Chains A and B, each alone.
Chain A
């Protein structure tokens, strides 16, 4: 690893709230999407002459479409409860990374054009004209928010900065100022079917290779079917699972679980991506279109269940939004929803998380597990933000915390929690979520990971933790990249189903 061009934060046992360093991250900004990338999503190629009235008009439209935006822009009292809650602020000290200050970048413009005091006395209420400088600040600082919702836990009005960030990015896209990495990925999903641009034949090749590996390892014919009509389960997983490490070990884990339980399942080349970056840019049409591929695959393959692999924001979209977007769910009485919901098996939650499937099988004694296989590991669990604060698993609130932990305890003997206040609903983002996983943002990513790294260091020092399990493809990619900056080994990062994969015993019960 080359020496970084920035100072990596020093990890303290109890990280202090930093003093303000105005402009500390002002140099940081993502690459702007090119005209073709924007055009592919129906956005203007570049900033048009009349961008300012267009941006304001678009804000007006969003105010009529999203109650969250309207209520959140009106309700903030500047109490300061959120000011020390954002990992990017804690890691950088840049005051514009305090959630309220980030929101105010947009709120100041809202006040100027949409409220009476802002029109009459802008200076008094902190209202600002939408200038090019303000727009540039939006592009910078709304791309320094991972939409992790940690601030929303602490806000007395439940103001969620993620909603503000999504609206701001949507407005930016509407005037041709897109984030290259994100818009490129959404384009790939439309064109090829997944974020990584992995075409169908490559997917077939990959899974064949993995099937051979599993045969060598277990002696069993564990299958990884693709596009098999009539399968019971359609597994939709982040495309990183197909070849990135350590993601692929979890994919192997899912295959072994289905094999051991005798569940007929399939992947789909149409729905070869669980992730949905449409959410990151707050664009409902993109969100809807990307989610539509899953609907299409489920209908074409005639599956009874849709199961989602280890991916944080994908699980948010699947759990919270799919029923709305593509009808994977229950209770729909309209034709669009019924068409799919009549096909899905009502005895199962639609969609289900792979952890719900695995935990259900473990509870019923359907899997043979050798916990000693993970005895060389001392495991901790990193709650991924979108799973923790924007979804659920199982039947009771908080199941998204308990079920992955229950699986870990069932497959490993040594499990340690990180400090309270850094896990469960108060978990810290990995630092690379929300579409910020691009190389040019590495300084932000390293610094934003600081709170999680500090919590991890404490359990590494005190309990010898050598494996951090998680259920998010972005977390996995981010941590394998930033761990070395903090002196941790990349191999400490892995999926919950990687642990399952190592512990599960296939074939005859022993």
Chain B
């Protein structure tokens, strides 16, 4: 096995550990920190089921963003939906046999790659063209979009320009999962693609990508509007009642 194969094998083990442990630690931290007061942004649902629906609309359709700004919504929603399709399409490289529905979505996932790149480019353009968003953008905001765009571009490159030995790539990843290491094809776009993906996995728990788990813990969205019916008390706050 080549040094490069070994490097990527170790890199992906490392990236996976960082991603899983990092996000788990953050989620644990979010979950364990109390929300001492009822602060749903109202009008808010008065039942738990209502909150589930509100959250579902927020996650699936970006309801609040839609109210705010149509352009950010169009690009943002397109980007995330495309990313979802692309991720689901990639399941074929990690499963054997490949599930039927994953086979079925392959063409959608492929073209979603273009949508993902296009939407990311539009979101990036906003960071230059809209004065207000230019003002709030940090270098890491630009780098993050560059990273995502690079992942999409290198992926599309392998699919449509310089084809990679995808059967070998799949063998490599199945090998990683089964601790039966296989060689990775020596291929520049593939190396770029995998390096960027591993980079994304590693920065995830330390960056604004935490918005993904964060939204589920947002008290303004996930609280039931029932403060008059139920006494809501955090342990640290209860001590003041004594």
Chain A residues within 8 Å of B, Cβ to Cβ: 17, 19-20, 63-68, 70-72, 74-85, 95, 98, 100-101, 104, 115-117, 123-126, 149, 152-160, 163, 284-285, 288, 319-324, 327, 329-334, 336-337, 349-351, 388-392, 395-398, 400-401, 425-426
Shortest CB distance B2–A (Å)? 32
Tell me whether A397 and B215 are in contact in the complex, defined as CB-CB below 8 angstroms, given that A20-B135, A324-B232, A389-B42 are known contacts.
Answer: no
Please, how many angstroms separate the alpha-carbon atoms of A126 and B140 in the complex?
8
- Could you tell me if B132 and A95 are in contact, using CB atoms closer than 8 angstroms? yes
B44/A284 in contact, CB under 8 A:
no
Answer yes or no: B208 CB below 8 A from chain A CBs: yes
Cα-based distance from A350 to B214 in the complex (angstroms) = 33
* B140 lies within 8 A of A321 (CB): no
A336 to B46, CA, bound (A): 25
Complex contact A158–B26 (CB within 8 A) = no
Q: How far is the CA of A284 from the CA of B215 in the complex (A)?
A: 25
> Considering the chains assembled together, what is the distance between the CA atoms of A64 and B35 in angstroms?
10
With beta carbons under 8 angstroms apart, the residue of B29, B207, B227, B234 that contacts A329 is B227
Using Cβ atoms and an 8 Å threshold, which residues of chain B touch A396?
46
Contact B39 A68 (CB under 8 A): yes
Q: How large is the interface on B (under 10, 10 to 19, 20 to 34, 35 or more residues)?
A: 35 or more
A85-B68 contact in complex given A163-B39, A324-B233, C-beta closer than 8 Å: yes
B229 to chain A, nearest CB (A): 5
The 3 A-B residue pairs with the shortest CB-CB distance in the complex, in nearest-first order: A75-B214, A154-B68, A126-B138
Chain A residues with Cβ under 8 A from B132's Cβ?
17, 20, 80, 83-84, 95, 98
17 A-B residue pairs with Cβ-Cβ distance under 8 Å, sorted by A, are A17-B132, A67-B34, A67-B35, A76-B208, A98-B135, A101-B136, A125-B139, A125-B140, A153-B41, A156-B65, A156-B68, A156-B215, A163-B39, A284-B240, A331-B229, A349-B228, A392-B225
B39 touches A284 (CB 8 A): no
Q: Are A154 and B42 in contact (CB under 8 A)?
A: no
Q: Give the residues from 1 to 48 in chain B that come closer than 8 angstroms, CB to CB, to chain A.
A: 26, 29-30, 33-39, 41-46
How far apart are the CA atoms of A349 and B126 in the complex, in Å?
A: 48
Q: Does B237 contact A (CB under 8 A)?
A: yes
Among B130, B219, B220, B233, max chain A CB count under 10 A is at B220
CB pair A321–B67 under 8 Å, yes or no, is: no
Find A319's partner among B67, B136, B228 (CB 8 Å cutoff).
B228
- Interface pair B41/A158, CB less than 8 Å apart: yes
- Other than A390-B42, A397-B44, A398-B43, give 20 A-B pairs with Cβ distance below 8 A: A19-B131, A67-B34, A71-B217, A72-B218, A75-B211, A78-B138, A79-B72, A79-B76, A81-B68, A83-B132, A95-B135, A158-B221, A320-B39, A329-B229, A330-B228, A331-B230, A334-B238, A349-B228, A390-B41, A397-B43
Contacts of A284 in B (CB 8 A): 36, 237, 240
Contact B231 A329 (CB under 8 A): yes
Residue of B nearest to A118 (CB): B206
The reply to whether the CB of B64 lies closer than 8 angstroms to some CB of chain A is yes
The residue among B30, B41, B72, B131 with the most chain A CB atoms within 10 A of its own CB is: B41
Chain B residue at minimal CB-CB distance from A77: B208
* Chain A residues, Cβ within 8 Å of B230: 323, 330-331
Which A residues are in CB contact (< 8 Å) with B233?
324, 334
Name the A residues within 8 Å of B215 (CB-CB): 75, 156-158
Complex: A152 Cα to B136 Cα, angstroms: 17
- From residue A254, how far is it (CB to closest CB) to chain B in Å? 20
- Closest approach, in angstroms, between the C-beta of A151 and any C-beta of chain B? 9
In whole angstroms, what is the CA distance A63 to B33 when docked?
A: 8
Cβ-defined partner of A324 (8 Å) among B42, B68, B203, B227: B227
Smallest CB gap from A103: residue in B: B136
Alpha-carbon distance A389/B41, docked complex (angstroms): 5
Q: Output the nearest chain B residue to A74 by Cβ-Cβ distance.
A: B210
In the complex, chain B residues whose CB is within 8 Å of the CB of A83: 132-133, 136
A19 to B134, CA, bound (A): 12
Contact between A323 and B135, CB atoms less than 8 A apart: no
CA distance A83 to B219 in the complex (A): 21
Q: Is the CB of A71 within 8 A of B218?
A: yes
- Bound-state CA distance A323–B233 (Å) is 9
Given A77-B211, A152-B220, A157-B218: A320 in contact with B67 (beta carbons within 8 A): no
Q: How far is the CA of A157 from the CA of B213 in the complex (A)?
A: 10
A94 CB to nearest chain B CB (Å):
11
Q: Which residues of A contact B64 (CB under 8 A)?
A: 81, 153-156, 158
Chain A residues with CB under 8 Å of B140's CB are: 117, 124-126
Shortest B29–chain A CB gap in Å is 7
Q: Mark B197-208, 1 if CB is under 8 A from A, else 0.
A: 000000100111
Given A100-B136, A284-B237, are A75 and B218 neighbors across the interface (CB < 8 Å)? yes
A350: chain B residues within 8 A (beta carbon): 228
B143 within 8 A of A: yes
Contact of A71 (CB < 8 Å), options: B30, B203, B208:
B30
